[in-house]
Structure 1
Amino acid sequence: MARSPAHALAAGVVSGTMESCDRIQDRLLDFIEGELADGEFRQIEAHLARCARCGREAAALRETVARVRDLPVSAVPDGLLDGLAAAVQKRIASDPAHRPPFWQRLARWIGGLPGLQPVPAVSAAAALGLLLAIGLGQGPRVPHAPSTGDGVVAAESLSIAQNLDLLEQFDLLEELDVLEQLPLLRSPAGDQAVKRG
């Protein structure tokens, strides 16, 4: 739970520690000027009655405030602000020109090169930088391993190649079935297909 300044001061007054004296001294000017709430004012007043060190600080601060209030108030001379503004403007005008930013100096340098115009040269440099960044951003290309689908196709192709002779014989048999259906291979007598053997 956070304490209010009045509670913190009350705790310091009871304990009489150096920490409470520091808090009291931080609030002395407000105490002297009468800018504290009644409860906090009474707590500081009670502390000052018990603590000689803080009492001396309060007396010295009261004396200083009284002397400052007794000082004569002098009027501001006519034209003081005008003279101040003129002095500032003169100082600004007498300072050497500030160094232009890097990009302005670069543009001026590129513009000074014979045959180069600043805008196309800067555009070309920007395009080259972009291409370089894209090229470097992709990094080296690494070949990837075939996926499992590619492995299945390769295994099937290997199996077909190993059994190629057998498969060619099956193709011949299929073609034989087609040939048997042709009318030329049928016998004229019984409409039966010629058997080959």
Structure 2
Amino acid sequence: MACESARLSLPGWLTDELSITDRAALDAHLAQCPDCRAELVASQQLWQQLKAVPTPAPGPAMRTRFYAMLDTFEATEPVAPPTIWARLRSWVPPMGSGGVGPRLAYGLLLLGVGVGIGYWLPNGRSADIAYQQQIDTLSVQMQEMREMMMLSLLENPSATERLRAVSYTKDIGEADSRVVEALLTTLNNDPNVNVRLVTLEALAERAHDPRVREGLVQSLTRQESPLMQVALADVMVKLQEKRSLKPLRQMLRQEGINDLVKTKLEKTIRELS
């Protein structure tokens, strides 16, 4: 990551709005760039000063202006056309007006409405049910096509195509065991670290699935890239996954561990303990 990109990402770092991939890349850059670390410290100080600025209270004339705007809106709002029931009532004289004519008119009106409702409801409901069934069938077929395309592209030798395959998971609802297994295999074995980072982000969004959580915990000790190790540690903190404490401590005992990763793991263990 270049310094210019890192400085543009600092606001997102401060508000915790960066993706897992971007945050890991920025953390790695900050560990090596004293200028950007100084910029981060200055931004944090400015952020604290902005938080201390009091929010101005609304002025006494605010209520008056609000009601004036409301009156203007109501005056310019177009009048809604009368409903079908209002039109029917205007065509039929009131029941209390006396005579056989009004009563006969009401009787015929009620008879017509009853016949119409009796005819329309069964046909309308059956048409709605058939339409909904077609929509559900199409949705299932579309999901199956996306899953097949994703599984196929994950075997592609091109890293770009494998990245595209992982992006398809956003359009897949509840993933079946094949999809989860394929994503976890990619997370642990893909030769391209960018593909693994994007896969981690996709899996983190499905962490409500117990299979995904278990796979993420098991992946901790299988990662050798510092970027992946830092990104996985961030995911464990966000998920508050205490089962990760044991593999995190195992990682700390590994020989030749990166200093940045060591610091990150120690911090993660403290936050989860």
TM-score in terms of structure 1 length: 0.31
Structure with higher Rg: it is 1
Q: 1 or 2 for the larger relative contact order (CA 8 Å, sep ≥6)?
A: 2
Answer 1 or 2: which has greater helix percent: 2
